[in-house]
Amino acid sequence: MGPAYNRPPMNPAISFQQVGKTFQTPRGALNALSDVSFDIHPGEFFGLLGPNGAGKTTLISILAGLARATSGRVTVHGHDVVEDYAAARKSLGIVPQELVFDPFFSVRETLRIQSGYFGVRGNDAWIDELLDGLGLADKAGANMRQLSGGMKRRVLVAQALVHRPPVIVLDEPTAGVDVELRQTLWGFIARLNREGHTVLLTTHYLEEAEALCGRIAMLKQGRVVALDRTSNLLAGTASTMLRFKTDDVLPPDLAAQARVTGRIAQVKAADAAAVEAVLARLRAAGIKVEDLEIGRADLEDVFLEIMQGAGSTRPTIAEEAA
């Protein structure tokens, strides 16, 4: 890489600029996206998080040129996804949320046909590398319809990458897939990211996002409600969590600040004194506690806090220094 002062200013890998999307539905207009603006820099591993219906797939469909934004603009390495569709699309490898494939072709044929769409020929060595990296080498000759759901998912990833796109977009790639595939997939995608590919990932698995993504945007009802480095998001929340199991019903004051999932309760505490206060309250209420742990809040805690609109944290939208 040359010295910084000699380099021309770099385009963002992806730029979303005031993107809005309104769907006309029988029940009236639905604003799926409102004023979504952020840039993803070349080489970033970026997470797009949000509950079901937040607008993640809609935003990716607009990026992929499968849907039109109602307002705003999206570029990929400077290419407008509408006016300069072919160049933008060629820079993107998109792994869709839904499994779509042609059952009559073999895995290798599927990948060759996809290469043809992008005008790429003679890339069998790269196809073999994809098959290897995704644990598909022994399935190259198998027909798509013979593959399990997990194997189809791997082919979908390979298909997205046949033309060696600099930007890789994965829409919930691990929804409902087994641990082995997740590990294969993340090993491979992390390698591509180290080699310089930009990655945009949407996932429900917040521990994956926490482990992989350098920056994260959170969408809620079509709006960006958080945008920051993962480490800043984690640092910005009340830092300590008490976790325990109990069969007893918590007193209302504690229940109000707890997150309860079955027998497991989690209570946030700002500092050591707050931890002691919670413990004293549990003792006073005669709550029988098992497997008590005190730990750091994780991305799931941050996510829930932001989605519930709790006002206890500092503002979470930070404009990054690239």
Ligand X SMILES: Nc1ncnc2c1ncn2[C@@H]1O[C@H](COP(=O)(O)OP(=O)(O)O)[C@@H](O)[C@H]1O
- Residue numbers of the site for ligand X (CB under 6 A)? 23, 25, 30, 32, 50, 52-58
CA distance 163 to 80: 19
In which order are the strands placed within the sheet that holds 258-261? 258-261, 264-269, 240-245, 290-296
> What is d(CA 196, CA 133) in angstroms, rounded to the nearest whole number?
17
Whether residue 281 contacts residue 308, with contact meaning beta carbons closer than 8 Å, is answered with no
Site for Mg ion contains 184 (CB under 5 A): no
Query: Going residue by residue from 194 to 233, which x/- string records binding to Mg ion, judged by CB under 5 A?
Result: ----------------------------------------
Site string for Mg ion, 83-102 (x = CB under 5 A): --------------x-----
The site partner of 106 among ligand X, Mg ion, none (C-beta below 5 to 8 Å per kind) is none
Sign of CA dihedral 16, 222, 259, 174: negative
Minimum gap (Å) between residue 239 Cβ and ligand X: 29
Among 47, 48, 49, 57, binds Mg ion (CB under 5 A): 57
30 vs 211, beta carbon nearer ligand X: 30
32 binds, among Mg ion, ligand X, none (CB under 5 to 8 A by kind): ligand X
Beta bridge partners of residue 215, listed in sequence order: 46, 229
Q: Which two tokens stand for residue 214?
A: 């350098």
Chosen from Mg ion, ligand X, none, partner binding at 157 (C-beta under 5 to 8 Å by type): none
Residue count of the chain, please give it: 322
Terminal C-alpha separation, the chain: 17
H or E stretch at 208: helix 206-212
| Residue 53 interacts with which of Mg ion, ligand X, none, CB < 5 to 8 Å by class | ligand X
Nearer to ligand X, 56 or 215 (CB): 56
CB nearer to ligand X: give 58 or 159: 58
Number of residues that bind Mg ion (CB under 5 A): 3
HSE (side-chain half, CA atoms, 13 Å) at 162 = 25
What minimum distance in Å lies between the beta carbon of 179 and ligand X?
23
- Choice between 23 and 104, CB closer to ligand X: 23
Q: Say if CB 199 and CB 290 are below 8 A apart.
A: no
CA-based Rg of the chain, rounded to a whole angstrom?
23
Residue number of the CB closest to Mg ion reads: 57
> Is 61 one of the binding residues for Mg ion (CB under 5 A)?
no
Region of 53-61, 223-231, 251-259, 289-297 interacting with Mg ion (CB under 5 A):
53-61
To the nearest whole angstrom, how small is the minimum distance from the Cβ of residue 223 to ligand X?
Answer: 12
Comparing CB distances to ligand X, the nearer of 69 and 162 is 69
Report yes or no: 174 and 146 within 8 Å, Cβ to Cβ. no
- Considering the complex, what minimum distance in angstroms separates the CB of residue 304 from ligand X? 16
Q: How far is the CB of 30 from ligand X (least distance, A)?
A: 5
Q: CB–CB of 41/13 below 8 Å?
A: yes
CA angle, 136 then 138 then 141, to 5°? 95
User: Whole-number minimum distance, CB 134 to ligand X, in Å?
Assistant: 24
- Give every CB contact of residue 153 below 8 A, 6+ residues apart in sequence: 99, 173, 177, 181
Distance of CA 36 to the CA centre of its chain: 16
Quickly tell me which residue has 């990296």 as its tokens: 133
With CB cut-offs between 5 and 8 Å by kind, which of Mg ion, ligand X, none does residue 52 bind?
A: ligand X
117 touches, from Mg ion, ligand X, none (C-beta below 5 to 8 Å by class): none
| Contact residues for Mg ion, defined by CB under 5 A | 56-57, 97
